[in-house]
Amino acid sequence: MMQSSNMAYDQAITVFSPDGRLFQVEYAREAVKRGTTTVGLKYKTGVVLIADKRISSHLIKHESIEKIFQIDEHVGCSISGLVADARILVDKARIYSQIEKITYVGEIPVKTLVKSICDFKHIYTQYGGVRPFGTALIIGGVDENGAQLFATDPSGAFMGYKAGSEGSGRKEAMEYFEKNYVEDLTMDEAITMGVKAIQKGSKKKINPEAIEIGVINAERNFWKLSSAESKNYVEKHA
């Protein structure tokens, strides 16, 4: 009876249930939980982003799957959930970044970018005829305040982290970080810890070719490791 009465409140995004819940937003969070595991870690002078692309068939070309994106020279993000939804948010983030550059002749602060993206996500929880974005972004970058790492929610909320995770293996990865993360990691140590965290969140041995790694360093440069470099980390540490 309780279940059937609750169902009346999940037909429209604008309707709160009697206990103050927006069911469509919660459904979007479930889409994130079904996504592949992704992690982000701050190291001494930068940020590391790592994602499991979860290649389900040997017929799939692993380089055609992208879970880590560059937003600007000093900012990148990893995604979990609906990839098509995430691409829209990544494009929006790139626009915000370029508007800042043209208007103020400078790089957008990472937290300002995160707020803008989350404001955009929040709009899709307020109006009829739309649905929330079924994706979570881990956004990392380096600006004048140093290394920055944030995780965003389908509701439009965000939280700053030293090490964070999203996706199906989030619980196990966060437990691993709680026990093992320390300040002032080197880049190599951060990548190693991130790979191990993804392994903890995986129900089976991870495919070395399915791991994607992005780095933003102290010089505010974003780059992705080559397939061979990523594979080497996984085979050595996972």
Among 36, 125, 152, 192, the one annotated catalytic: 36
Crossing angle (nearest 10°) for helices 83-104 and 110-123: 130
d(CA 198, CA 73): 26
Neighbours of 62 (CB within 10 A): 15
Q: Is 103 a catalytic residue?
A: no
Neighbours of 149 (CB within 10 A): 23
- Return all residues near 83 (Cβ < 8 A) that are at least 6 apart: 67, 135
d(CA 188, CA 232): 12
d(CA 114, CA 90): 11
d(CA 236, CA 195): 10
Reference 52, options 64, 65, 37, 40; nearest CA is 37
Burial 13-41 (b: 16+ CB within 10 A, else e): beeeeeeeebbbbeebeebbeebbbbbbb
- Return all residues near 122 (Cβ < 8 A) that are at least 6 apart: 155, 156
Question: Which residues are catalytically annotated?
Answer: 36
